[in-house]
């Protein structure tokens, strides 16, 4: 039992004995004592909500509860009352015993005993008409980290990727290659396949705008020009041919998608991302069509005069939603229906988590409703992990205009910047070249991942590479440097067996660092419940900051008292383990020295 749970139980018992009210645990607030008063307490009970029960002043209520808790809780050394807070100070022996029992635990706070609960987490979900960019990076890092956090909380997780490998957007790239590609290939151009295909997507948009501008000069409106566009008409014909499985169209589609997959794999590898299963829209849209057909037969869906198929969600406060176009081709919703059905068949999961940007909130509201209306009871298990957009200091990115930050270029820039800053600080004078390059990679990617994951997923964010790589402040490199500093201390100490007694006098900074380490399991639990890596990230920054303050205030290797020296080495080892495990949940690798 965690100490907060024990203190909650003791508070409930004390309140019942004193005032005759049996409160549920949710009505008791036990929190870490605020920094200004940590000499008086480690944890605090918030008394104000209890005054309606006690009918007494905050100070009198807190004093009565404090005395009662002290009678039955030997772990508590003393209590104090300050401004409506009951501050509880634990005995040093409690913290020393805790450290003795856990400082060598390599998996402290991580639940490796998976319960019988399976969660399918979908993330990445790229289109095969463009390379991965900064927006995809946030998606991938968030989905991968949430998966690792859920695993650390004891759940069985299946990481899946849905590749959007069909549709009108793919046909645009295919048509541009047919018209202007001159049989170019990644080999003939020296370009990564995903970048080559993305170039043709941008080229199509450029040519389309030129055609629309010409039609508008003839007096047509924007909408009329688009309807008259030869390029859009040819792209739509390609989509129909694809769904009809016309051989030449399918052959071109397979060739260009193959180029893209090779490019994606390279980017995923550089980011340290992997999947347990990859689904393809081209394999699931037909199943989606069959679900639509079932919905038509049951009367849940309806067909309009132009032969398109819709669902009416006006009673649910939404609108009518298209599920099949008039020409019989699928829309995104169609394949999502099929993919959800296939995943349920494959895993019968206890939860589906879709990591998708907040611009798709409406889409997932509709998806759940459609599935429920066609009789899929498991639709209630779908959760849309909606996250905010990533912008640059100069504004939003636009794929079709080619104004995005390419993922590969960004990774390369981060590693290069890490190299420059590391060399400036003179931290690698004794490194071999291969070890130095590995350090640059870890620091550059650590900076990127931490900068993105420290932000609450629900919030939009501005990514500024120059701010993310800093060996001071709330950054990945600061946490990595703290870890490397601890490892250096431990190497110099030439650790073998660490032994210390239970009657050491602890300093406040030592207690503060112990409390932070103690809270790591709760942090993992909270991050899993909230699907938020930012909870882990900001905890790691606080832990690293606390250790550095401890390091500067207290001697470790030069401490003459052998018991204190051993205690501080054990505390350092324990802190390094929690930093390592916490960063591992964010997908951040830690350098042993820097």
Task: Tell me, rounded to whole angstroms, the distance of Cα 51 from its chain centroid.
Answer: 40
Q: Bridge-partner residues for 85, per DSSP? A: 46, 82
- Three-point CA angle 520, 521, 522, nearest 5°: 90
| Tokens 């995104």 found at | 332
Q: How does strand 156-163 pair with strand 277-280?
A: parallel
The CATH topology of domain 123-391 is Rossmann fold (3.40.50)
Residue 148 backbone phi and psi in degrees, to 5: -65, -35
Q: What is the pLDDT of residues 322-368, one digit of tens each?
A: 999 998 888 889 989 999 999 999 999 999 999 999 999 999 999 99
Q: What is the pLDDT of residues 76-89, one digit of tens each?
A: 999 999 988 999 99
Q: What is the DSSP string of 332-373?
A: HHHHHHHHHHHHHHHH--SEEEEEEEGGGHHHHHHHHHHHHH
Helices (H), 158-192: 168-180, 186-189
Helices (H), 183-311: 186-189, 193-217, 222-228, 230-243, 247-271, 281-298
Q: How does strand 85-90 pair with strand 382-387?
A: unpaired
CATH of domain 3-90: 3.30.1360.70
User: By C-alpha distance, which of 578, 587, 585, 584 is closest to 482?
Assistant: 578
In contact, 168 and 158? CB cutoff 8 Å: no
**Res. 473 pLDDT band, cuts 50 70 90:** confident
List the strands of the sheet with 30-32, edge to edge: 30-32, 43-46, 85-90, 76-82
pLDDT of residue 504: 85
| Tokens 């690293």 found at | 544
User: How would you write 99-152 as a 3-class SS string?
Assistant: HHHHCCCCCCCCCCCCCCCEEEEECCCCECCCCCEHHHHHHHHHHHHHHHHHHH
Q: Which CATH superfamily is domain 407-585 in?
A: Isoleucyl-tRNA Synthetase; Domain 1 (1.10.730.10)
Rounded Cα gap, residues 394 and 208, in angstroms: 26
Q: What is the pLDDT of residues 498-524, one digit of tens each?
A: 777 777 889 999 999 999 999 999 999
Q: What is the pLDDT of residues 240-259, one digit of tens each?
A: 999 899 999 999 999 999 99
pLDDT of residue 303: 95
**86: part of which helix (H) or strand (E)?**
strand 85-90
pLDDT of residue 16: 95
CB atoms within 10 A of CB 396: 11
> Where along the chain do its domains lie?
3-90, 123-391, 407-585
Model confidence at 402: pLDDT above 60: no
pTM over 0.85: yes
User: By C-alpha distance, which of 516, 394, 535 is closest to 453?
Assistant: 535
Q: What is the mean pLDDT of residues 410-431?
A: 84
CB atoms within 10 A of CB 365: 16
Rounded Cα gap, residues 21 and 529, in angstroms: 30
* Identical fold, 123-391 and 407-585: no
Rounded Cα gap, residues 149 and 521, in angstroms: 11
- State whether residue 280 is helix, strand or coil: strand
pLDDT of residue 399: 44
């Amino acid at each position: 039992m965690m100490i907060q749970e024990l203190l909650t139980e003791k508070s409930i018992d004390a309140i019942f004995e004193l005032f005759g009210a049996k409160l549920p645990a949710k009505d008791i607030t036990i929190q870490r004592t605020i920094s200004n008063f940590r000499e008086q307490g480690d944890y605090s009970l918030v008394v104000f909500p209890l005054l309606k029960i006690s009918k007494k002043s905050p100070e009198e209520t807190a004093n009565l509860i404090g005395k009662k808790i002290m009678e039955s809780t030997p772990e508590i050394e003393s209590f104090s009352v300050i401004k409506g807070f009951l501050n509880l100070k634990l005995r040093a022996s409690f913290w020393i015993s805790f450290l003795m029992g856990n400082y060598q635990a390599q998996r402290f706070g991580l639940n490796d005993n998976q319960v019988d609960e399976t969660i399918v987490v979908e993330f990445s979900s790229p289109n095969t008409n463009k390379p991965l960019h900064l927006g995809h990076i946030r998606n991938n890092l968030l989905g991968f980290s949430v998966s690792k956090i859920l695993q650390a909380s004891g759940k069985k997780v299946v990481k899946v990727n849905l590749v959007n490998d069909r549709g009108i957007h793919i046909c645009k790239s295919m048509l541009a290659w047919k018209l202007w590609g001159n049989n170019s290939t990644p080999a003939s151009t020296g370009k990564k396949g995903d970048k080559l295909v993305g170039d043709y997507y941008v080229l199509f948009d450029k040519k389309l705008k030129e055609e629309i501008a010409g039609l508008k000069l003839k007096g047509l409106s924007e909408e009329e020009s688009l309807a008259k566009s030869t390029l859009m008409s040819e792209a739509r014909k390609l989509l129909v041919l694809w769904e009809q499985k016309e051989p030449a169209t399918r052959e071109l589609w397979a060739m260009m998608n193959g180029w893209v997959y090779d490019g994606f794999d390279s980017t995923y590898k550089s980011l340290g991302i992997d999947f347990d299963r990859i689904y393809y829209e081209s394999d699931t849209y037909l199943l989606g069509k069959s679900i639509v057909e079932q919905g038509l037969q049951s009367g849940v869906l309806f067909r309009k005069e132009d032969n398109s198929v819709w669902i009416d969600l006006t009673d649910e406060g939404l609108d009518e939603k298209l599920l099949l176009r008039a020409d019989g081709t699928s829309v995104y919703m169609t394949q999502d229906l099929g993919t959800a059905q296939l995943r349920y068949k494959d895993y019968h999961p206890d939860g589906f988590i879709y990591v998708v940007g907040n611009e798709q909130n409406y889409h997932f509201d509709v998806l759940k409703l459609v599935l429920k209306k066609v009789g899929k009871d498991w639709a209630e298990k779908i959760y849309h992990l909606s996250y905010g957009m990533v912008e640059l200091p100069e504004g939003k990115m636009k794929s079709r205009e080619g104004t995005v930050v390419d993922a590969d270029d960004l990774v390369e820039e981060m590693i290069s910047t890490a190299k420059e800053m590391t060399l400036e600080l003179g931290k690698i004078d004794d490194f071999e070249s291969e070890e130095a390059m590995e350090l640059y990679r870890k620091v550059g990617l650590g900076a990127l991942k931490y900068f993105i994951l420290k932000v609450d997923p629900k919030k939009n964010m501005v990514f500024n590479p120059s701010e993310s790589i800093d060996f001071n402040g709330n950054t990945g490199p600061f946490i990595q440097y703290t870890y490397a500093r601890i490892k250096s201390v431990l190497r110099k100490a030439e650790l073998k067996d660490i032994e210390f007694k239970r009657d050491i006098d602890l300093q406040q900074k030592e207690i503060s660092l112990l409390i932070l380490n103690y809270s790591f399991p709760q942090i993992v639990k909270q991050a899993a419940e909230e699907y938020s890596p930012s909870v882990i990230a900001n905890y790691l920054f606080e832990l690293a900051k606390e250790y550095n303050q401890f390091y500067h205030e207290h001697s470790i290797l030069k401490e003459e008292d052998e018991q204190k020296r051993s205690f501080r080495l054990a505390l350092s080892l324990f802190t390094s383990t929690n930093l390592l495990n916490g960063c591992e949940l964010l997908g951040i690798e830690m350098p042993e020295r820097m």
